[in-house]
Amino acid sequence: MPRGDGRLNHDLFPGEKGPQDACGVFGVWAPGEEVAKLTYFGLYALQHRGTESAGIAVSNGSQILVFKDMGLVSQVFDETTLGSLRGHMAVGHARYSTTGSSVWENAQPTFRATATGSIALGHNGNLTNTGELSRLVAEQGPDRGEINYPYQGRIEASSDTDLLTSLLAGSPDLSLEETAMQVLPKVKGAFSLVFMDETTLYAVRDPQGIRPLVLGRLERGWVVASETAALDIVGASFIREIEPGELIAVDEHGLRTRRFAEAKPKGCVFEYVYLARPDTTIAGRGVYASRVEMGRRLAQEFPVDADLVMPTPESGTPAAIGYAEQSGIAYGNGLVKNSYVGRTFIQPSQTIRQLGIRLKLNPLREVIQGKRLVVVDDSIVRGNTQRALVRMLREAGALEVHVRISSPPVKWPCFFGIDFATRAELIANGLSVDEIAKSLGADSLAYISLDAMVEATTIPKDRLCRACFDGEYPIELPDPERLGKHLLEGIEQTVRTDVDGVQALLGGGGAEDALRRP
């Protein structure tokens, strides 16, 4: 899949699914502005966070209209569609599925119509107590205030976001804001939310602040987004981050803020390593500067005699620059990327599939031949991409290939919004560094230390989630079989066949109220 900022190292090998982000969210309250177009451009800046589906909901003060579909932002929306989405407030979402399958019913924003109004919601993160939340939805019963529609013959939504939207729609006697203040303390996991009713835009961040969420100011309104880069593209000035455990609301009376939980900051360190755009700032630290510093520290910890430092395009580039600066070894691009190879609905034949990463990268033989190379990448998940890359560089004439990784070995799965493989599939979980190097065919392999990586972010270690590297999860997890992802995806299968029991209540009602292309 193509990345919004051109990053593709983890998408090079057919079937290789690397560390994918859960989603990107965007919201705007700006009377007099073309909010649908602002949201489109905001999502365009966040495309790297989710490439499976995209959607925009707009409100004109009395009605919410949602348009969403499968595909990239630029594939889902055109001028005509955006022109039909009129209002003063909007919520947008770009999705990569971590809980719930990749189907249209799970595209966001999710939508609920109730007897007192409507709700549209976008979510970045992953909830870990969906079993508990499912019971709460079931306890609300069929008359919980949400306007339901026939389930027969329809695939229901199966995402954690769908459950959360149902809970927020389940108290028609309360305002959406008051309902949120009651529901949010019961929600566990990672959640950066942007949602709205007909009159008010809301933004929420979980008490740990695992996923980023920022607030920006327009001349005539407010913007919230997953990353500061999305503020830049719509001309909004950065105000501050949404605090962990905070709810903000924007309406005709201005901006107000409330706290639903104590802040216990544990921002995801992998945002600095790979997930966020390099031109984004998180917690006051530029992502690009952090990655360059990781490269410098990697060179200090694991030097090597070589002729050329080169990145695996493109997310390895800042760290490779830092490695070259610190080591004094020349920096160069040894690979040419085909920018137009991305998502395709044309299935390659076996012959083409065997070309592997050559479909996306081709070596510059005159740069590589006869050289001892240091190849810098941001992380290794399964190792298939790096193995194919090492082989390709040797075939192009490299004398030696030394692989350097600007994050520690990934040994633990993520339950907070990154679609890492199960632990059994992580190459670093079962092999030593030397064994991995042998598996890749590299002359040497080294990973930056955990402490050096953390220091490069300038964020205190105790304020970062490092669970994928050290197994220390900042939120207590339920038993594996009760974890949100596994539970919900089991529910999904049941919902498709049982429409009379509780399972039917757990599916999404009102998905058909959103528009999509025929």
What residues act catalytically? 23
What count of Cα atoms within 13 Å lies in the side-chain half-sphere of residue 349? 2
Burial of 141 (0-12, 13-18, 19+ CB in 10 A): exposed
Neighbour-count burial for 352-382, b at 16+ CB within 10 Å, e otherwise: eeeebbebbbebeeebbeebbbbbbbbbbbb
- 268, 335, 349, 400, 499 from 392: Cα distances, Å: 33, 10, 21, 12, 52
Provide the edge-to-edge strand list for the sheet that holds 89-95.
Answer: 64-70, 53-59, 89-95, 23-29, 221-225, 214-218, 237-241
Do 43 and 31 meet the contact criterion of CB atoms below 8 Å apart?
no
Length of the chain counted residue by residue: 518
Cβ-contact 409, 439 below 8 angstroms: no
Q: Which residues of 194-219 are buried (b: 16+ CB within 10 A; e: fewer)?
A: bbbbbebbbbbbbbbbbbbbbbbebe
Q: 112 near 164, Cβ under 8 Å?
A: no
Query: Could you please report the per-residue DSSP string of 254-294?
Result: EEEEEESS-----EETHIIIIIS-TT-EETTEEHHHHHHHH
Cα dihedral value 232, 238, 241, 246, nearest 10: -110
Q: Which H or E run includes 335? A: strand 335-337
Of the candidates 467, 478, 503, which has an alpha carbon nearest to the alpha carbon of residue 488?
A: 503
What is the β-pairing status of strands 372-377 and 308-311? parallel
Helix spans in 441-495 (H): 450-457, 467-470, 484-495
Confirm if 94 and 132 have CB atoms less than 8 A apart: no
Report d(CA 425, CA 16) in Å as an integer. Answer: 11
Helix (H, G, I), strand (E, B) or coil at 455: helix
Determine contact, residues 309/324, Cβ cutoff 8 Å. Answer: yes
How far is Cα 188 from Cα 65, in angstroms, rounded to an integer? 29
